[in-house]
Structure 1
Amino acid sequence: MAYTNSTDWQTPASVSASDDEQCELVLRGDTLARAGQLDAAEAILRQALMRKPHDATATAHLARILLGLGRTDDASRLVDDFLCSTVLSAPPELLLLRAQILLALRAWSEAIVAFRYAIDAAPDNGIAELGLAVALGESGQIETTATAARRAIAKGADSPGARYVLGRALLAANRPDEAEAQLRQVLTLQPDHVAAHCSLTELIWMRSGNVDAAMERLDDALRDEPNLFELRIMKARLLESSGDRLGALAALEAGLTHPAGSLALRLAATKTAVHIDPARAMLHARHALQLGPGNAAAVGAYADTLLAMGRARELATVAARLHEFNPDDSHAIALLLCAWRMLDDPRHRELGDYSRVVRTSLIDTPVGWSDLASYLGDLARSLHQLHSMREHPIDQTLRFGTQVELHPEQSGDRAIQAFPEAIAGPIRRYLEALGGGTDLLRRRHTGACRLNGIWSVRLRPNGHHLNHFHGKGWISSACYIELPETMGEQAGQGWLKFGEPAMPTTPALPAEYFIRPEPGLLALFPSWMWHGTVPFYGSPLDRRLTMAFDLLPA
């Protein structure tokens, strides 16, 4: 969330220039910034700072201009240099600006500290409290996020943005009634608040499983403003997530009659159509490439369509271009593997050597438990309490189940807190066995890694994961916590499978490797490997409970 914008150029009340000429320069810079002439405003304000380097007003204005130009690092250096060089008390406005810059840099821990300094300097500043709430939320400190958001509202920062931050925090804290009330309040205050619409739609869907109820506010908003393409894409994602791909594609194509969001709509239409009509997907993909030549997402969507149509040589060329642009792009590597497999290229056999790069082992028993079974029992009970929804989040790969994000370091539950300890040994052994090298997997191996997200999935009968890869990881995982007894009676049910792409292909590329789950088993594998699960069947009360995480090199 942005806390300053291109129209917020008010001179801080606590600082002022010392002479008329300096005031005139700062005022000219302010006027140019208000008019959107940011380059000219920057030049004037730099002139002012050459005359008077410790002018807090000019520094604040210039830092905001640099943020508006996307030069966040330059803004950070400017403010830090001022705060380090001044012998006077730091102006509260600059302390707040420094915290906002750290937030823009996604330096969550540093931003939390900086916002607290800003609040100490100006205790009644609701904007600083709101910034603190955002930083706390991004770092996973859910309860304190809600508290800070409430303080921001109480201190006068009662805005749609503040209510949205509070609503998201309440949702993350598993308080759906309060979250829904706040999100509805956001839309009362600002009917076109896209993020609140999307969050409310997903919340209603997850709580009820009722597509019509979830879409009601979206449809009202789209009737009022057909150009809100983000809401049209959200509607399509909901329909597709509920199993109605044809309806999703129709919703997206209906939006193409409006000029707004053409590239985003074409990309979304390509991703949906590729599962049901590759030729139609190719039409949308080509339009997307015309709208965004060189756009990585457009190139990736075009490559997906080549995969579905079996045009392996073209796919290999396009996927290689994507990989060259970003060597860590999981999508590019997943596409390369498919192209090489279709072409019987030996590189597929080398990189897709499942016996080498996919490994399983039991997790360790954490301190405080006598054996693994007792730990898994406690962990399962704790996780079941968190799975309070009815349906999966929109845009996730699971079907007939629920998913919750976890923050063990912030959790008050001992079993959840202990999970990183339980997986540390298997991760270390996997990395040791992987070793060093220059191939697409081992080239990133530094000898150390860090967690990049932990979540839990609970599937009911018919539940499964669609085939997918993980775009934000290097190594991914599946850890089995609790399995229904009936799952073991039918071979293959609930098993983890590798090698089958997300969309039907010509020729077909069936799964090449399977893992049979068992309680306590942890599977580790490259994030760019296509993987999914076979549906399982059983009694209505059966549940398949897992945890998962991604790793990145440290």
Structure 2
Amino acid sequence: MNANQLYQSLVSAFQQGNYSQVLNTVDNIQNQIGSIYEFEFLFGLCALKSNLLGSACKHLQNALDQKPNDPQAIFHLALTLNQSGQLLNAQKVAAGLDNTSKANLQLKIIIAQKICDFDEALRYIDCLLKLAPKDEFALRSKATIYRQFGQPQSAQSCADYLTTSSVANTLLKSGIAFDQSDFATAEKELLKGLNEFSDTPVLHETLNQLYWNTDNKQAFMSSFNNVTSNSKELLFAKVKSLILSKQWQQAEEQLSGLKHTFKNDPTFIHLEAVVLSQNNNWSKASPLFEQAALLAPNNQRFLIDLAICHIMDNDFNKAEHFLDKAHRIDPSNQELWAYLGFVWQQTNQQKFDWLYGKGDLIDAQLLATPNGYGSLDAYLADLKDYLKSIHISSNTPLDQSVRNGTQTTGNLIYYQHPLIKKFKHVMEQRVQNYINKLPNDPNHPTRIKLGRDFCFSGSWSVLLKDQGHHSNHVHPMGWISGPTYIDIPDQIKPSDPEMSGWVKFGETSLAHPLNKVSKSICPEPGVSVLFPSFMWHGTFPISGQNAERLTISLDVEPLA
């Protein structure tokens, strides 16, 4: 068989979905005929289809070396880099694609949005809309960016052109209505979507979050209760919503009714264990968590929860064993480092000190005064008024750490309001200064994720009221996190022995007898506190009938 015949046979295997058959020939072909564009490109496609992203990048780069300007090789290499999280490299490669193709522009838009380069994304969106004025991907992307900018009316003007019935369009339109405090329209859009996509869990979850956030508790869970579908995903979503709202008895009853059908399903078993653990019935939860982890050994959530069971049983060696397994699946997950830190605090002081440093990883600094202001206090006074105007929810978020307070939606730091732009500008330098002081150890979790740049992957304002606080938590998919204090009530002061409203570190979310606070900081107006996302943190409740504590919190993600 000559090279051409061999190539055609591999193309046939590719077309039939036999990707492993093609990839099994790589070594023989490269040894016999070397690196040839057609073969390398085919290998790259097969690796991409098989989710072997590292191998796909290698073969597609080899193909591009053979044909440096080949648009197909450029496109698929950029696509692979995007999927593997190498976003800056993906952006650089994608820049070699022209803007005359919908597929090229869509890929450029996706990458730009992921790295939060929204101005670039808008430029590509406008190019796409010139090619296809009614393209719904472009319209939806533009509306989403305007939501990020805190411009719901501009988002609405884009969404008005979306005519297709889809889950994505439903979620976007309801979200825009929510941003404008039009809760009735937000509900109407979600109910209309559920009429057509009744088995879609995210629509039910979003509707019930709307009811919860607007204090419409009577309607909460009603959409789930009105559905007769036997969809596993939908039934499990109902249980998860009951768990989030701490309705343990109802969750247990729902699971009891599903046991006959799903008794061997790892997700069902895990949900059973979660309900038991939330009732502190760890002895019954433990074997269920173990059974779920055995059935789904690559599920990191199951392994972490199994480790928690052993922590609660004071079997720290077993806990570390399962956390090590979770680490092998995804070492960047901050939650596993948080629990490792607690385990090491009890068993290995040297490892604990390595993880937490000498206290310098928690960094509190006064924010720089933004340009155009004579003092930081004057800026904070203006920022306070603006932030209070955008706290539109009336209830504590269902799925966040806030207790007796409200939280804004969207990615606040990218709002186009002049006051937020000034905040973003000073925070960029603040974060960069913090990054420059991170441990110089490639194995430390703060260095595992270190990239050439960073973006603000999440940002929101929290308004805590009397007895308001944050429950102890970490940011599992974060890297660097922290609040900036905008307005502080008189009740929060350094001399307070109760530490009302103070931020605390080290105490986990577990009701464990060895739990303890390792450090507390008294908030001050204008102070920004940054720390690794794996650090346990929460707040002591604020005391005072009219007390309000206003912050902007954020998550920072590296860009590779």
Where on the TM-score scale, by shorter chain, does this alignment land: which range? 0.7 to 0.9
SS of 1:387's equivalent in the other structure is coil
**Bigger Cα displacement from structure 2, 110-119 vs 65-74:** 65-74
Task: Tell me the equivalent position of 2:266.
Answer: 263
The Cα of 1:281 is off from its aligned counterpart by: 2.2
Q: 1:438 to 1:550 in 2, by over 3 A?
A: same
Task: Tell me the equivalent position of 1:496.
Answer: 503
Task: Tell me the equivalent position of 1:149.
Answer: 159
Task: Tell me the equivalent position of 2:535.
Answer: 529
The Cα of 1:359 is off from its aligned counterpart by: 1.6
**Counterparts of 1:322 and 1:71 in 2: how far apart (Å)?**
20
- Could you tell me which amino acid in structure 2 is paired with residue 325 of structure 1? I
**Counterparts of 2:112 and 2:224 in 1: how far apart (Å)?**
30
**Counterparts of 1:344 and 1:80 in 2: how far apart (Å)?**
49
| Aligned counterpart for 1:206 among listed residues 207, 213, 231 | 213
Deviations 1:117-139 (A, max 9, x none): 44323334556544655676689
Residues 1:546 and 2:551 aligned together: yes
**Counterparts of 1:420 and 1:475 in 2: how far apart (Å)?**
15
Q: Highest relative contact order (Cα 8 Å, sep 6+), 1 or 2?
A: 2
Residues 1:436 and 2:446 aligned together: no
**Counterparts of 1:331 and 1:365 in 2: how far apart (Å)?**
34
The Cα of 1:442 is off from its aligned counterpart by: 4.9
| Aligned counterpart for 2:334 among listed residues 327, 330, 334 | 330
**Counterparts of 2:261 and 2:282 in 1: how far apart (Å)?**
24
Task: Tell me the equivalent position of 1:467.
Answer: 472
Superposition RMSD on alpha carbons, in Å? 4.0
Task: Tell me the equivalent position of 2:423.
Answer: 419
- Could you tell me which amino acid in structure 2 is paired with residue 290 of structure 1? L
Residues 1:517 and 2:523 aligned together: yes
Q: 1:378 to 1:227 in 2, by over 3 A?
A: same
**Counterparts of 1:247 and 1:347 in 2: how far apart (Å)?**
42
- Structure 1 unpaired stretches of 5+: 1-28, 44-62, 83-89
Residues 1:388 and 2:392 aligned together: yes
SS of 1:120's equivalent in the other structure is helix
Task: Tell me the equivalent position of 1:13.
Answer: none
Q: 1:380 to 1:255 in 2, by over 3 A?
A: farther
Is the Cα contact below 8 Å between 1:408 and 1:419 reproduced in 2?
no
Is the Cα contact below 8 Å between 2:332 and 2:445 reproduced in 1?
no
Q: 1:381 to 1:255 in 2, by over 3 A?
A: farther
| Aligned counterpart for 1:188 among listed residues 174, 177, 195 | 195
Is the Cα contact below 8 Å between 1:468 and 1:532 reproduced in 2?
yes
**Counterparts of 2:407 and 2:547 in 1: how far apart (Å)?**
16
Deviations 1:491-523 (A, max 9, x none): 311111111121222x43222211111221211
- Could you tell me which amino acid in structure 1 is paired with residue 178 of structure 2? L
Q: 1:503 to 1:144 in 2, by over 3 A?
A: same
TM-score of the aligned structures, taking structure 1 as reference length: 0.76
- Give matches, 1:56-455, under 5 Å: 78=72, 95-100=101-106, 115-126=125-136, 129-130=139-140, 133=143, 143-153=153-163, 157-208=164-215, 210-221=216-227, 224-230=228-234, 232-237=236-241, 239-259=242-262, 262-275=265-278, 276-353=280-357, 355-407=359-411, 410-434=414-438, 436-438=440-442, 440-444=444-448, 445=450, 449-455=454-460
**Counterparts of 2:145 and 2:455 in 1: how far apart (Å)?**
20
**Counterparts of 1:126 and 1:240 in 2: how far apart (Å)?**
36
**Counterparts of 2:209 and 2:475 in 1: how far apart (Å)?**
21
The Cα of 1:204 is off from its aligned counterpart by: 0.9
The Cα of 1:399 is off from its aligned counterpart by: 1.3
Percentage identity across aligned positions? 23
SS of 2:555's equivalent in the other structure is strand
SS of 2:226's equivalent in the other structure is helix
**Bigger Cα displacement from structure 2, 211-220 vs 483-492:** 483-492
The Cα of 1:432 is off from its aligned counterpart by: 3.9
**Counterparts of 1:289 and 1:142 in 2: how far apart (Å)?**
43
The Cα of 1:427 is off from its aligned counterpart by: 2.8
Deviations 1:412-457 (A, max 9, x none): 4222221122334443443344452345245345685432211111
Deviations 1:160-211 (A, max 9, x none): 5423322223334544333222112212233223222111110111001x43
Q: 1:246 to 1:532 in 2, by over 3 A?
A: farther
SS of 2:360's equivalent in the other structure is helix
SS of 1:548's equivalent in the other structure is strand
Q: 1:127 to 1:518 in 2, by over 3 A?
A: closer
TM-score of the aligned structures, taking structure 2 as reference length: 0.75
Q: 1:251 to 1:534 in 2, by over 3 A?
A: farther
Residues 1:479 and 2:488 aligned together: no
Q: 1:531 to 1:344 in 2, by over 3 A?
A: same
SS of 2:509's equivalent in the other structure is coil
**Bigger Cα displacement from structure 2, 526-535 vs 158-167:** 158-167
**Counterparts of 2:517 and 2:311 in 1: how far apart (Å)?**
16
Deviations 1:476-498 (A, max 9, x none): 11221112223445631111111
